[in-house]
Amino acid sequence: MRDDTIAAFLDQLAARVPAPGGGATAALHAAQAAALLAMVARYTDGPRYDAELINRITAEADGLREDALELAEADAEAFGAVAQAYRLPRETEAERRDRSASISSALAGAARPPADVVRTALLVISLAEELLPAGNRNMITDLAAAAVAARAAAVTARLFIEVNLKGITDPVLLAEFGATATAADTVVDRADQLVAAVRAEISQ
């Protein structure tokens, strides 16, 4: 996926194929958010800026972008495992038990990438909040765009966590994924606050 052109990826996304789908787009929203954040940081250079802070944010944003790309690919793979589990035979009681266990395990695997996307989006928002007061004022609209992309990543990922929860039987995983899904609300709130702050500044 990382080597596709944008046009090729969109062709795949529009095609009648199971993956890539919404889960992959959630991860790519996060990747775009991290990339925008890194761009703003790179434009925040010169003696009047805190070089140590900016260098750290740049490095962390670059790392989050790479993580998000890996999550996009992991999401597509996890969806394939779910489809395979649903195709298992169910003629006998033993087969039905095995199939049910395989489906639950596959759904837990499918919930993992979007859960990690929510966590990635939360890290992006945290970096954006650090950069907002310290960054190049000419680039703050791009910083707001990063926050909006992180928000989209979290909201989309939450949907794909929740749709898998109903088939997961492990109570520990249910609790973990449920809590992570709720964390998407934190991303939304903080992104909205950052965007509001940027809008207030540019309207002065």
CA distance 12 to 8: 6
CA distance 105 to 107: 5
Condensed to tens digits (0 to 9), the pLDDT of residues 158-184 reads: 999 998 888 888 889 889 998 998 899
Q: Count of residues for the chain?
A: 204
Before 20, cis peptide (omega within 30)? yes
Where in the chain are the domains? 6-202
**Res 77 pLDDT > 90:** no
Claim: this prediction has a pTM higher than 0.75: yes
CATH topology of domain 6-202: Four Helix Bundle (Hemerythrin (Met), subunit A) (1.20.120)
87's tokens? 């195709």
